[in-house]
């Protein structure tokens, strides 16, 4: 769902995009889409809270690119409505909407967000409760559903989920903003608020429906630029933080312990670029800044997987490429940004 807008919509492969959305919509289970379809008799695995929510964002991009309201109305809208209903009443892995309208998920033994490394029973990056990007995605899912309902003239559905969205937005701002730090908490549960400086909050700035005003958003973006931005993507944890790992190397246990603890992920440049353009405008100066930002990844196209972008890079310089040599998220987000913002030089 993260890769789809770049790999299929930015490249004009609208039929394939529709097919992918249909395939996942047909495979839902209690409001969840598969994290992995699997190639064994065990079948699909449903162990993620955010894949379903990213489907709403992918559907939004699909409609923006195609205007295909018939597909939205006939195939997706009933499924999207069912997904939201399941999330509200509660589904697998303790995924449910709390009294404050925010989405909570998991427990100390689960890893349901994209930061999902687990070694035996050790969840390397515990984010159960209310993660910041999950609730940004939840708010956007409600807004996108209300928008689709409005377009098909279902005013009752539009009003219902529009109201829920506004309640979620108010709770989000009250719960996640830290005046002390000038950025958003990464995860909240009960009285605990995790102030670890991670890139997940940039997603709240970049989605179709943002959750912060410009002043707060600028503070968040400045902090991300200062601590997380590298030539190849965003670090998953600020240097100097407890548990920071600057190299992705060693045996599997050591590598997994670094996977989301400082390792750089190129796909996160997509949300960062969206946020940068949203706050600073799309003009000749900002376009040149982004071209310069992406130049190291352009040069990387001949360094690991020929014509492709690696999954991850070390958090510490010289930021060696690691992981798989061709990763859909990395490639998709760069394609999307390059095309969406017309970064091709004349």
Task: Flag whether 208 is in a domain.
Answer: no
Residues 35 and 147 grouped into a single domain: yes
Task: Flag whether 127 is in a domain.
Answer: yes
Rounded to an integer, the average pLDDT of 106-133 is 95
Task: Flag whether 111 is in a domain.
Answer: yes
E strand segments, 137-291: 177-178, 183-184, 187-189, 192-194, 229-230, 233-235, 264-265
CATH number at residue 28: 1.50.10.10
Place 304 in a pLDDT band, splitting at 50, 70 and 90.
very high
> DSSP string covering 5-61, please?
IIIIITTT-HHHHHHHHHHHHTT-BTTB--SB--SSTT--B---SHHHHHHHHHHHH
Q: Which residue shows structure tokens 């689960």? A: 110
Is 278's pLDDT higher than 60? yes
Is 42's pLDDT higher than 90? no
β-pairing, 177-178 with 183-184? antiparallel
Is 135's pLDDT higher than 60? yes
Q: Kindly report, residue by residue over 154-182, the tens digit of the pLDDT.
A: 999 999 999 999 999 999 999 999 999 99
User: How many domains are contained in the chain?
Assistant: 2
Residues 138 and 165 grouped into a single domain: yes
Q: Please, what's the b/e burial string for 82-95 (b: 16 or more CB within 10 A of its CB; e: otherwise)?
A: ebbebbbeebbbeb
Q: Per the confidence metrics, is the pTM higher than 0.85? A: yes
Residue 40 has a CB neighbour count (10 Å cut-off) of 5
What is the CA 110 to chain-centroid distance, rounded?
A: 18
Residues 170 and 226 grouped into a single domain: no
Distance CA 240, CA 242 (A): 7
**C-alpha distances out from residue 60 to 20, 146, 237, Å:** 14, 11, 30
E strand segments, 155-240: 177-178, 183-184, 187-189, 192-194, 229-230, 233-235
* Domain end call among 145, 167, 196: 196
pLDDT at 58: 98
pLDDT at 39: 82
Residues 141 and 248 grouped into a single domain: no
Provide Rg for the chain, Cα atoms: 19
E strand segments, 158-209: 177-178, 183-184, 187-189, 192-194
* Domain end call among 196, 226, 247: 196
Residue 256 has a CB neighbour count (10 Å cut-off) of 18
Residues 181 and 246 grouped into a single domain: no
pLDDT at 346: 56
Place 41 in a pLDDT band, splitting at 50, 70 and 90.
confident
Task: Flag whether 202 is in a domain.
Answer: no
- Among candidate residues 199, 201, 188, the one with its CA nearest the CA of residue 136: 201
* Domain end call among 141, 170, 196: 196
The residue segments making up the domain with residue 192 are 1-196
Residues 147 and 230 grouped into a single domain: no
Residues 139 and 223 grouped into a single domain: no
Non-local CB neighbours of 158 within 8 Å, separated by 6+ positions: 146, 147, 149, 150
Residues 153 and 257 grouped into a single domain: no
Residues 225 and 192 grouped into a single domain: no
Distance CA 319, CA 95 (A): 36
């Amino acid at each position: 769902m993260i890769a789809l807008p770049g790999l299929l919509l930015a490249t004009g492969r609208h039929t394939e995009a529709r097919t992918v959305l249909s395939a996942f919509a047909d495979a839902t289970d209690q409001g969840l889409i598969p994290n992995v379809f699997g190639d064994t008799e065990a079948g699909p695995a449903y162990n993620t809270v955010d894949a379903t929510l990213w489907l709403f964002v992918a559907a939004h991009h699909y409609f923006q690119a195609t205007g295909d309201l018939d597909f939205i109305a006939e195939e997706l809208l009933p499924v999207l409505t069912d997904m939201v209903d399941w999330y509200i009443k509660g589904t697998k892995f303790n995924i449910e909407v709390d009294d404050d309208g925010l989405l909570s998920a998991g427990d100390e033994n689960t890893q349901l967000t994209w930061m999902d490394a687990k070694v035996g029973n050790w969840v390397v990056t515990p984010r159960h409760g209310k993660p910041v990007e999950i609730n940004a995605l939840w708010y956007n899912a409600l807004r996108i559903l209300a928008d689709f309902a409005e377009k098909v003239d279902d005013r009752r559905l539009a009003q219902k989920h529009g109201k829920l969205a506004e309640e979620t937005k108010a709770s989000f701002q009250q719960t996640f903003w830290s005046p002390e730090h000038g950025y958003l908490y990464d995860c909240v549960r009960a009285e605990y608020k995790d102030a670890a400086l991670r890139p997940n909050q940039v997603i709240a700035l970049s989605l179709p429906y943002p959750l912060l005003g410009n002043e707060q958003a600028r503070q968040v973006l400045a902090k991300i630029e200062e601590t997380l931005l590298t030539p190849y993507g965003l670090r998953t944890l600020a240097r100097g933080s407890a548990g920071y790992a600057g190299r992705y190397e060693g045996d599997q246990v050591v590598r997994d312990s670094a996977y989301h603890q400082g390792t750089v992920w190129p796909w996160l440049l997509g949300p960062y670029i969206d946020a940068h353009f949203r706050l600073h405008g799309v003009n000749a100066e900002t376009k040149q800044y982004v071209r310069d930002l992406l130049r190291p990844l352009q040069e990387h196209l001949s360094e690991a997987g020929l014509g492709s972008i690696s999954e991850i890079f070390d958090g510490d310089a010289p930021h060696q490429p690691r992981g798989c040599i061709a990763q859909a998220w990395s490639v998709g987000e760069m394609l999307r940004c390059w095309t969406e913002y017309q970064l091709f030089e004349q």
